[in-house]
Amino acid sequence: MYRLSLIVAVVAALASVVLGSAQAAKYGSFKTPSGNIVCGYGGGSIGCGIKTGLKPAPKNTCHDLDYSGKRMSVRTTGTAVIDLCAGDPGPFLLEAKAPVLAYGSKWRGGGITCASRRSGLTCTNRSGHGFFMSRTRSYRF
């Protein structure tokens, strides 16, 4: 069910390209200045992918899928999850039109806050759960 809501959010984001403020949009996307991390949000969740892959790489059995081990997501409440066995591009599909979330800036929407820093991207929900991802390390909290 969660994956379906994320796919719906991605499709809605593509239908309404975000050209203004990310905070004002119900569905949309953003990427970090390096372009290594891309996020798609909507429907009370955010999913972010990192091109260089999560570090340490998660243990899974889906190594043959293009996007496996590269994404995490979190809903407005509850714990963050590693999106294993991802064969679809998810947030990477939004990269071309995604506005840049500058280092030192925050995106807020639907009870979730993401902070972009040179050290990486941190996304936290209203329950205090979330994830951090960077080229060198990634984790859920």
> Per the structure, how many domains does the chain have?
1
pLDDT in tens, 13-38: 443 333 344 444 589 999 999 999 99
What secondary structure, in 3-state letters, does 71-122 show?
A: EEEEECCCCCEECCCCCCCHHHHHHHHCCECCCCCEEEECCEEEEEECCEEE
Q: Indicate the pTM of the whole model.
A: 0.78
Question: Contact, 65 vs 116, CB < 8 A?
Answer: no
